[in-house]
Amino acid sequence: MTMAKKTYINSSGRKVLEYVSTVSIMVDLPNILTHDKILTINMPYLKLEKRVAGNDIAAVRLIDFEDKDGIVSFYVQELKSKRTYYLSANMDYEGDMWMWSLSDFEALTTLPE
């Protein structure tokens, strides 16, 4: 079965999102710290969430993703507590500030020093 590639070009003309397959998505945002910026359903990721007092780090599994009206949302489940929730990002935002990030083991172990 061939899947038509769905993409999102932001207001600056930059491709931010591309559906790679039915279970994988490429999201070119600064808070996605994965190999080739690809996230895959059922794969584990490390979530870092910036809070007013400190940071929250949790191992999560990506359950699903969707995009609508310039917003990409990731439905995740924490591996330890089994709690589920959405993480969302505005794909038109061009700044360096972010409230959360997702990373995979490969990207974490190959970060430049």
Token pair listed for 67? 């995009």
CB 56 within 8 A of CB 21: no
- pLDDT string in tens for the chain (113-residue length): 345 568 999 999 999 999 999 999 999 999 999 999 999 999 999 999 988 888 889 999 999 999 999 999 999 999 999 999 999 999 999 888 889 999 998 887 776 66
Domain extents for the chain?
7-109
CB 65 within 8 A of CB 72: yes
Q: What is the largest CA-CA distance in the chain?
A: 48
